[in-house]
Amino acid sequence: MRILIIEDDIGLNKSIVENLAQFGYQSDSSENFKDGEYFIGIRHYDLVLASWTLADGDGAELIRLVKQKSPRTPVIIISSKADKDNEIKALKLGADDFIKKPFDFDIFLARIEARLRLGGTNVIKIEDLTIDPDEEKITYKGQDIELKGKPFEVLTHLARHSDQIVSKEQLLDAIWEEPELVTPNVIEVAINQIRQKMDKPLNISTIETVRRRGYRFCFPKKS
């Protein structure tokens, strides 16, 4: 499970990241609207935690961005503005919950878990191919495929963006925690593993190389 935190209180932001990590959640964090918008654009999140007020933007626009890209992704607004009007406005705009600061972390975590249970399925199903990101599991015509780790994440990201050509740089930013510390050839290695462990044995094609531009998910082949 990956969670995005957009909170300009640096101490609170760090505390949320550290506490979520203790319960096995991966998270990205931003201290401003601009960086939060960037993360929303490049990655899929199971849940977004966003401050209602930020120096360079607001929670209302963040709700719109998240729901426009992925309507099923839950958005929880956290706010020091504890008045009824703001809470009603956030919920009407599409927020799934509204939590007032300061909050008890145990209750906060329980509300996150509740929203994740209600957030809908992340399973990608295309004809006979099923990709389950939560279980890190792939099946094709009922047969389990042994593809784990980064190759699995690369395949999943490309499948979620099947109408797009995705560059190596975009894949690095979306999947690797510190993309600046790895070289782009790790993408080629991941793609090769997908083809060797999945495409070749099953006699299918899932990833198309688009010269000088990147990769595109191509299952099933368009006629």
Distance CA 165, CA 26 (A): 26
How would you write the pLDDT of the chain (223 residues) with one tens digit per residue?
789 999 999 999 999 999 999 998 889 999 999 999 999 988 888 899 999 999 999 899 999 999 888 888 899 999 987 788 989 999 999 999 999 999 999 999 999 998 887 765 678 888 899 998 878 899 999 899 999 999 999 999 899 888 789 999 989 988 887 888 888 899 999 999 999 999 999 999 999 999 989 999 999 865 4
What does the alpha-carbon distance between residue 216 and residue 150 come to, in Å, rounded to a whole number? 17
> Using CA atoms, how far apart are residues 165 and 188, in angstroms rounded to an integer?
15
Which has the closest alpha carbon to 76: 86, 58, 90, 88?
A: 90
State residue 194 phi and psi, 5-degree precision: -60, -45
Q: Which helix (H) or strand (E) holds 41?
A: helix 33-42
Cβ neighbours for 36, distance < 8 A, ≥ 6 positions apart = 4, 6, 30, 50, 54, 57, 62
What pTM does this model have?
A: 0.66
Instruction: Set out the domains of the chain in order of their start, with CATH numbers.
Output: 2-119 (3.40.50.2300), 124-217 (1.10.10.10)
